[in-house]
Chains A and B, each alone.
Chain A
Amino acid sequence: MNDESNIQVKKVWKILETVMDPEVPVLSITDLGIVRNVKIDASNKINITITPTYTGCPAMDVINMNIRMCMLENGYKDFEIKTVLSPAWTTDWMSEAGKQKLKAYGIAPPNPKQIVCTTDVFQEEEAIQCPHCNSYNTQLISRFGSTACKALYKCNDCFETFDYFKCH
């Protein structure tokens, strides 16, 4: 890759940093780790590769459209957005900055160490920190929350309910 296309790629990444997730509007799609690759091919066409967080994530169509709009607004015409499934998205790809922003927004970020998700029933739940009062004295209400990527928790100290961005 020559210097010029290197600069172009960096510019596109900067633009993608401004595209927000429609469900969690404080997070950009780069914070989430949805953008997997930006490449410029021989004919100067920009190829953007994205991956869904969850298979049925209804936000993917909106994200696709928002990327398109943002690229067009910035004067790019010759680009293509491709969706890939492999390797499968994981919460490990979420940036540190993204996790901080999530917490400030009131959603508990995924635990830094991926707890292995197994099929065993009634497992001991991982300790999730309440994003409001920082207490670990919390309890799972439902493994399925308001969107596919979240679980619902309750804090036993400040009594607030909160979403947890579950490990994946």
Chain B
Amino acid sequence: MNDALISYILHLADNTLILAQQNSAWCAHGPILEQDIAITNISLDLLGQARNFYQYAAQIINSAKAPSPLKRAGGEVTEDTLAYLRDTRDFKNCLLVEQANGDWGKTILRQFLFSNYQYLLYEKLQHSNDEQIAAIAAKALKEVIYHLRWSSEWVIRLGDGTEESHQRMQNAIDELCMYVDELFTKADYETALLKENISVDVSLLKNAWYKKTGEIFSEATLKIPENVFQQTGGKQGIHTERLGYILAEMQFMQRAYPNSVW
């Protein structure tokens, strides 16, 4: 049970950390100041969620007597160990969040697809039998509502905007839609925790997700392509090439100068 629980918490943490890291690259590069601030604020919210999940995972790992590969060099595990010293195969985030930022439209679309999922997930997760997971989800849900509303509105503005913004949004959909199904495909650790009502059966969120996405896309005059071959694997640690580059940049300081602080 403990292994599944740790994997599940790391999965929740990795999703938010990787998306936070990616969004933060827009800092000082946003198309206009207000939206630059918006995307970095969202980044900060996601990073806060990641920290809460990592802290909780570290607490469980440290309290377990059994040796864990995560307890490096016999030391205590911290939120930083989990973020900075795990390799691509250890990361359990969905493939969607590790896809490149691309242009502003693609970043907005990625945020919308993920926030829509996260909103439905946390709505359920706030009733998890695991008190700490429930508390983190309930707290974060209020913030995710802002993320979802903001990204939905921008999908509509850009999709139903100029010919160029519309085309860029449609291109972004074509690039990202192959990573959607994974969100609703249960990993073994999610299945293992279902009986105790700790995890959420993500396959049951799919209809509500497509309904909301359909509504926003129709207002944005955008189309969801059909019969797209779907990629999965991220939740089990099988990632696209891109994650390696993200981690290389994010983890560089701790890898080059172990235990450095600032």
Residues of A participating in the B interface, judged by any CB pair closer than 8 Å = 52, 54-58, 84-89, 117-123, 141-146, 148, 152, 168
How many A-B residue contacts, CB cutoff 8 Å?
A: 88
CA gap between A148 and B142 in the complex, in Å = 12
Please tell me if B5 contacts chain A, counting CB pairs below 8 Å.
no
Given the known inter-chain contacts A144-B41, A148-B41, A152-B34, please indicate yes or no for A86 contacting B146, CB distance below 8 A: no
Contact A55 B145 (CB under 8 A): no
Q: A85 — which chain B residues lie within 8 A by C-beta?
A: 52, 132, 135-136, 138-139
Contact B52 A143 (CB under 8 A): no
Question: 10 shortest A-B CB distances, which residue pairs?
Answer: A56-B48, A55-B48, A86-B135, A142-B34, A144-B38, A144-B41, A85-B135, A56-B44, A88-B139, A121-B152
CA gap between A97 and B225 in the complex, in Å = 54
Of A55, A120, A121, A122, the contact of B140 (CB 8 Å cutoff): A55
Closest beta carbon of chain B to A109's beta carbon, Å: 18
Closest beta carbon of chain A to B156's beta carbon, Å: 6
Given the known inter-chain contacts A118-B145, A168-B142, please indicate yes or no for A55 contacting B52, CB distance below 8 A: yes
Size of B's binding interface in residues, CB under 8 A = 36
Please tell me if B49 contacts chain A, counting CB pairs below 8 Å.
yes
Of B143, B149, B212, the contact of A54 (CB 8 Å cutoff): B143
Given the known inter-chain contacts A56-B49, A142-B35, please indicate yes or no for A119 contacting B119, CB distance below 8 A: yes
Residues of B participating in the A interface, judged by any CB pair closer than 8 Å = 34-35, 37-38, 41-42, 44-49, 51-52, 119, 131-132, 134-136, 138-140, 142-143, 145-146, 148-150, 152-153, 156, 212, 216, 219
The prevalent SS among residues of B at the interface is helix
Closest beta carbon of chain B to A149's beta carbon, Å: 10
Contact B48 A57 (CB under 8 A): yes
Contact A88 B150 (CB under 8 A): no
Contact B146 A143 (CB under 8 A): yes
Contact B45 A88 (CB under 8 A): no
Of A120, A141, A148, A168, the contact of B149 (CB 8 Å cutoff): A120
CA gap between A88 and B136 in the complex, in Å = 9
Q: B152 — which chain A residues lie within 8 A by C-beta?
A: 119, 121
CA gap between A89 and B140 in the complex, in Å = 11
